């Protein structure tokens, strides 16, 4: 790319992950909560560092890599200092509000949502891009493509609606499952004695989420306005399903109806492979 890339929040895990992957043929400069922390991280990688409002002034690409709850505030903080033709990006899991904020300051705006943890490599990971203004966004599209990412391009509104299911619903349901397990009169050790590979996989995925920072998942629930409707729908749906228990015909009809929403054969094949792998691990 051969660009000067400013990562606001470059001291964070994902900020560092981006910096390491972008530093080839580019100049990376970062900021953090304090200049001292930015200096410490930058020295580890050989990057430049500075105050957020300083590092963006002559940058070709500005990436906001801060927690969801403060993303718009940080955009408004640094926005007046970036050039009109700098590619202005963010990496939060909510897109409408950040994109609207960035549009006030640049003619080149790209919302990005890397849907993976920074502990993973980019290859094969889903990246959602919501280009809003200009044509320079293809610089980042090329970066993701060159690293083997699975790219989906959409608009901010469609992204947020989809994330209310992919993240909002799934994370909320995992939290409800975890709380129900916590209230049950059995310990985790007791449950292992009765756990099939499928149950272990489901609980491991829940535990994987709970091994992350609570602020991230709390913000995902709170910052996407589409999530409130989805949470209400989840609660309503739980009650509707509960009322079908004991009515075999009604339950079977609903079971068949729900199956029409999914790729059943594909799901069977994919999960069979995972279950075989888990079973081999136990043997």
CATH of the domain at 139: 3.40.50.720
**Distance between CA atoms of 283 and 279, rounded to whole angstroms?**
6
* CA–CA gap between residue 3 and residue 24 (Å, rounded): 10
Q: Which of 154, 189, 218 is the last residue of a domain?
A: 154
Q: Give pLDDT tens digits for 182-224.
A: 998 877 677 778 888 888 888 888 998 999 889 889 999 999 9
pLDDT of residue 266: 96
Cβ(129)–Cβ(151) under 8 Å? yes
Instruction: Identify the pLDDT of residue 283.
Output: 59
User: 114 pairs with which residues across the strands?
Assistant: 127
- Which domain does 123 fall in, by range? 4-154
CA distance 75 to 149: 26
Q: Please say which residue of 154, 170, 190 terminates a domain.
A: 154
Residues 148 and 255 occupy one common structural domain: no
* Same domain? 106 vs 229: no
**27 in the same domain as 111:** yes
63, HSE (Cβ side, Cα atoms, 13 Å): 28
CB 128 within 8 A of CB 98: no
Residue 143 CB neighbours (<10 A): 21
Question: What pLDDT does residue 281 have?
Answer: 67
User: What is the Cα–Cα distance from 160 to 167, expressed in whole angstroms?
Assistant: 10
Number of domains in the chain: 2
Q: What pLDDT does residue 1 have? A: 65
> Could you tell me which residues are beta bridge partners of residue 111?
90, 130
**Helix 197-210 crosses helix 264-282 at what angle (to 10 degrees)?**
90
* pLDDT for res 187: 74
Stretches in the chain below the pLDDT threshold 50 = none
Are 59 and 29 in contact by the 8 Å Cβ rule? The answer is yes
């Amino acid at each position: 790319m051969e660009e000067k890339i400013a990562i606001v929040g470059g001291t964070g895990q994902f900020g560092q992950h981006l910096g390491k992957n972008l530093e080839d043929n580019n100049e990376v400069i970062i900021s953090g909560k304090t200049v001292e922390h930015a200096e410490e991280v930058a020295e580890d990688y050989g990057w430049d560092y500075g105050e957020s409002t300083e590092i963006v002034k002559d940058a070709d690409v500005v990436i906001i890599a801060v927690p969801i709850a403060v993303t718009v505030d940080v955009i408004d903080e640094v926005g007046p200092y970036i050039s009109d033709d700098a590619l202005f990006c963010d990496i939060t899991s909510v897109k409408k509000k950040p994109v609207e904020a960035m549009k006030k300051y640049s003619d080149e705006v790209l919302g990005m949502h890397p849907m993976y943890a920074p502990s993973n490599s980019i290859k094969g990971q889903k990246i959602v891009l919501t280009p809003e203004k200009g044509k320079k966004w293809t610089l980042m599209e090329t970066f993701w493509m060159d690293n083997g990412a699975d790219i989906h391009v959409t608009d901010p509104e469609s992204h947020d609606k989809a994330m209310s299911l992919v993240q909002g619903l799934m994370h909320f349901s995992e939290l409800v499952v975890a709380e129900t397990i916590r209230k049950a009169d059995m310990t985790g050790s007791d449950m292992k004695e009765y756990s099939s590979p499928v149950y272990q996989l489901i609980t491991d995925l829940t535990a994987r989420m709970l091994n992350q920072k609570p602020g991230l998942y709390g913000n995902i629930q709170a910052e996407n306005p589409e999530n409130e409707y989805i949470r209400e729908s989840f609660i309503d749906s739980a009650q509707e399903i509960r009322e079908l228990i004991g009515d075999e015909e009604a339950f079977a009809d609903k079971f068949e109806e729900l199956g029409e929403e999914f790729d059943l054969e594909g799901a069977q094949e994919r999960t069979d492979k995972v279950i075989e792998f888990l079973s081999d691990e136990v043997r």
